[in-house]
Structure 1
Amino acid sequence: MRFHPRTEISFSFSVSIKYVNIKNVNGNIIGIEEYTKTTLACKTSEGRPAANITWKKISKKGFITDLTKNAKYHISRLESGITIAESSIDLKPKREDNGSRIICEAINKISNVTKKEVTLHVQYPPGKPYFQFFAQNEFAIDGKLLQDKLIVKEGSHFIVICKSDGDPSPICTWAIENDPKSPNLTFTNITKKHRGSYECIAGNVIKTFPEGETTDKESTAGLVIDVLYQSKIIRFNVIGIEKTREHFEVTENETIVFICSVDSNPASSISISFKQRELGRNENTKSLVQIKKVNSCFDNGVYQCLAHNKCNDKPSLENLTLLVRCRPLLLPEFDLEPNITSAQNATVTFEFKALAHPTPEFQWFKLSGSTWKTMLTDNKSKIKTLEHYSSLSLSNITEDDYGRYRLRIQNEIGFLEQLYFLNAYGKPDPSTMFAQLREYVTEASAILQWKPGFDGGSEQMFILRYKLESEKNWTKIMIPDTGDETMHYSLIYLESDSVYHSELISVNSHGKSMPIKLTFKTKAKQQTVDSTTTWTLICVSAGSFAVSIFAVVVTFLCCKFTRQRNTRTMTISQTAEVIPENQNQTTFYLDGINTIHEYEQLDGHSLEDREYTEMQTIKAGDDSNRDYLTPTI
């Protein structure tokens, strides 16, 4: 056997990388949904030695990011020793990666770098829609868009545009009836009925990689439209009481509850008032409840509820009429005259207007002595009653008509009584029964009496004047009215067996009466007895005369002491107007009076116990400064 020697020859060859591809990519752009895991695989051509594959990302702004460290690498070897290299990376792109380039590069020892790049088109669904507001008139100028809430005034014209971010760009529409598939929501003259929520839908279509399937994506957002409008009262009544006709009827001393409710946006300021006086107020509310105690007829009338908010040009107003069942009261605006002063023969009218419900009855009375007597319409008196009004007219006023009157006003709830006073005004009436007390006539004195007439409603005095029948001059004396039914006055130092003429006049601050006249005569002097008889009488009386002298002295001293305590001095006046010195000073009209005794009445006396300090004589040339003691009646 012959062995042939073996010769082994070794040789190697290299194959350069011709290309590199990214699998499943047609074109240079791939669409990927944001945050969706996507795998990119890069495969080289045959090559020897095996290719080295790297990945990198270049952003729009040129920033380069090496992605190789997270890549997977695999080599496939053929029998010929040639290799095919593959590498893959996982991506979860964000929208910020949109437009970035992903580059796969392959290289071996004998080839240059071969690369393949694709541009990322990162797709994402619509984001939450947002809104833009555009005012179209002056009412809408103050409109406020606060994210998903729009606040506008009633009457506004405006447009709201719905927008959304997404890739591809979303299409926005409003989910309302008859929507023209427009992103614009338009209102012309919006009212409160348009308040509510409106939904905007944003949608787009995303194409998946690598399958190429499409998916509809959408996002929604709600817009709340709040329409501001004026406050308007929708209810104003009394809780628990039904309205009768045009009013609410309650009874005095009852406690009631008012309620006033409004429709408004925003909330309102509400107040309840009566006769311009506020009973209650509430702010930032839509209702006001007010409790009230109904005390009397004065609570009867129209109550008001006022409401307003910032949208009101003027407040909303609602009236409520409260009719109170109440006892009678005087109508406040009625001008009552309970005191009337009138002259005689005139006509006067007492009036009253009541505030009461139900309608009251009226009854008039006159005080006669201590008894109230019911008055009826007759020739003298006329009573007129009409619903809440009553009057009493008195014609041809006489002395008997002066005094107190009473009106009783009554209904089923209660009653009221009103007093009236008719006061006299005028000059006094003449006195009557002017006469001489014959049993008291002496040689030098006389007592006159009379019954005073009606004083005319004012303090009266009497002027008594007298004179001898043969003389012209009069002596005049002023005498106060003591209030006695019959008055007396004593004239002294008269001449015996003489005829006197006298006159009596009543006077007050308004005038004087007609005089009444009286003629009287003093007694004649008694016949003189003879001297024997006279001496006999003197002797008989001598013993008693001494006793009398002593008594007169004692009496004089007592009178003097009493006068110092209780009397006041009478003076003579030469004026036609005399003002007494008492506390209630009154001017008396005394026409044609030359000599007047002005004095004050003693406490506890009538015309008794007078003291004269001076008196003017009747006759010219007589002793004009004689002092006289006051006569005692």
Structure 2
Amino acid sequence: MVKDRSELGSKVSKHSTVHNEVRFYMSVVIWLLISHTDAVSIRGISPYTILGTPFALICDVPEEADVVRFYRSPNDIKVGEVRVSISICYNMLVQPPISCPTSLCTCVPSDVNRGTRFVWYIQPQPEDHGSQWFCRRSNPDISPKLLDSDIYTIMVADPPSFLSLSPMETTYTKEEGEFLPDIVGTAANCRPDCDFVWTGPDNTNFLSSVLSLGQLDRSEHGTYTCTAFNEAGELSMAISVNVRYPSQIISLDYVVGGSDVPENETKTLVCSVESFPPSIIQWLYNETVLQVTIDVLESTYTLTNVSCLDTGVYTCSVQNDVSTQAVTMDIPINVLCKPRPDPRVETDYELEISSNETVLVVRAMFLSNPEPTYTWGFQVSPDTGVTLLIDGQDNFAINTSYTTNNLSAMSTGTRTDFGEQWLGVYIVTAENSQGSETLYFRTTGKDFERVSDEVAFPVLETVLPVTGAVILLIIIGIVMFVYHKPVRVVTNP
């Protein structure tokens, strides 16, 4: 074919030297293409073999072949032979021949008894590194009938046998904002050369042999792993980067529900912290320390059998040895309770008024949450009914106040133009969503003609003051005998 091309080239007009040169170079290129196309070539399935993994030797035969044999140099040891017959690939190393198992050999038939690609699998051994292989095609219909490929050299991959880091430290402890030196990974005995990847605490990968974090912040705290790898395997080494930073409260909340809690039930608070090293967490109420936990990132505080006076603001205070001062956050607890006499104040339930006084003031003090509503009544004596007192009627005024930060509830009844007919028992009932409570105030007259001491009513916690021991005992005896209503002492629930 090359000769024919040369003859064609000789017919080109000799008046054009340029055309001759172009034709010559084209002929060379065409010859190279034809020679390459006609050649037998051998290659591996990949640049490197891996020990323990079958490796395919591929023999390409553009001119077709009925048989291809695989040899190992330099002794031309035949290791494989594949024949195409009736479009089936046969392993000819065994007698009688058998169709190729896919784990050993295969081929690409081009017609009934010919093929263009033949494959033989070998099991690489360490000593196979650098070994030389070739294939030989057989085709009795073309010349030459036998044609060898070029030599193919097998390269056996080797995993890294050793991994080192520079600097050699495996633990770095730095303050937030300080710089971390670059850390370089080096692997030994990699074939082919190893690639490197650094994996961060959040599983982010950095495809480099160098870990370069620079100025540190708290998000970079954690474990970093350097991995050297190639086709044959990998080797890893980890370091710890400890970024020290001050405490910060990331959440303060109720474990269940919100701030409201019924009296005598339980409420649990949880405070979560971000810091390194871990923090000391304190719980406080009105600046009083309730609980301390050390070296933690979370703490809970539980109030059991809560009472009305547990209502208030609770504080989570956190600090570690990096902090210059404690960080605090507040959370409220609102204990719902029915009204009851306020135990924090002393209340006089016996009120004496002289005939020359014209104003009576009755103050009823309760502890209550939420704020109560009030009902006032007046009773002259046990055998008379209770008169409902209305604000602004019969010279009687009612004023109320409520202090949310200490749950103090007060209702004040003021009667002006006071006269003897208003001596008796003043009854105050406070009520909210949790229940109700009633207080009784008895007024006694001084220098009045009528004595109202005979009215029986409940009193709170203390024995009635004695203004005249003998007279008072006589009055109490009369009341108990006549009305069968003993004096009742109402204690704090």
With normalisation by structure 2, the TM-score equals 0.46
Rg larger for:
1
With normalisation by structure 1, the TM-score equals 0.37
Query: Bigger relative contact order, structure 1 or 2, given CA contacts below 8 A and separation 6+?
Result: 2
